[in-house]
Copies of this chain bind each other. A is one copy, B any other.
């Protein structure tokens, strides 16, 4: 409960990043609750009205938080994909990274994909090539298409397959968090099953 030091003259906008960071700590502490402006201000060590110095209203604050974590998710997935060379391995790595992000950071994942004002309201219109969501989804489509052209997956519409993949991953991540009584398999097994049945690839011989 340390007292916060006021930002220097002309640097008031540093509070913006402090608030986004504080929101992260709030989300980590209470992953299922919806973000509240007051909780974020409290965590940042600042009075509630101070938020309005950086954001027009609660929606803008949440929007900034969403944009922040969407970028993090994108980064994590892209990095994971880059670690592998073979198309199936790249796909698997990306899926695993997505699911792990969701499981390990339920608060951020929740605010991204399950809250009242979801990603779509923050990012552009889907289909717009500048839209962050569209580009993220394109990454998944590409990974799937690569598996098809490599002859590892049976041919089909990569867009549709990507929709199925996203649905399955999101379903897994949200259900694991909400239906705690269910005997869920570990993430990597789930992703293996997903890859195997969708892609129809033989199991990776390096695994036992």
> Could you tell me which A residues sit within 8 Å of B by CB distance?
32, 113-114, 116, 118-120, 125-127, 133, 156, 160-161, 163-164, 166-172, 174-175, 178-185, 189-190, 193-194, 197-198, 200
Contacts and interface: CB of A to CB of B under 8 A. Distances in A.
Given A161-B197, A164-B193, A168-B171, A183 B126 contact: yes
A161 B116 CA distance: 31
A127 B183 contact: yes
Contact of A179 (B32, B119, B179): B119
Nearest to A34: B34
Main SS of the interface on chain A? Answer: helix
Total identical chains: 2
19 contacts: A113-B175, A113-B179, A114-B178, A118-B179, A120-B179, A133-B181, A160-B189, A160-B193, A163-B184, A163-B190, A164-B190, A164-B193, A164-B197, A167-B169, A167-B190, A168-B168, A168-B171, A171-B172, A197-B197
B114 A174 contact: yes
Contacts of A169: 167, 171
A190 B134 CA distance: 20
Contacts of A127: 183
Contact of A126 (B32, B113, B181, B198): B181
A193 B125 CA distance: 25
Contacts of A183: 126-127
Nearest to A198: B197
B168 A175 contact: no
Nearest to A172: B167
Contact of A185 (B32, B163, B168): B163
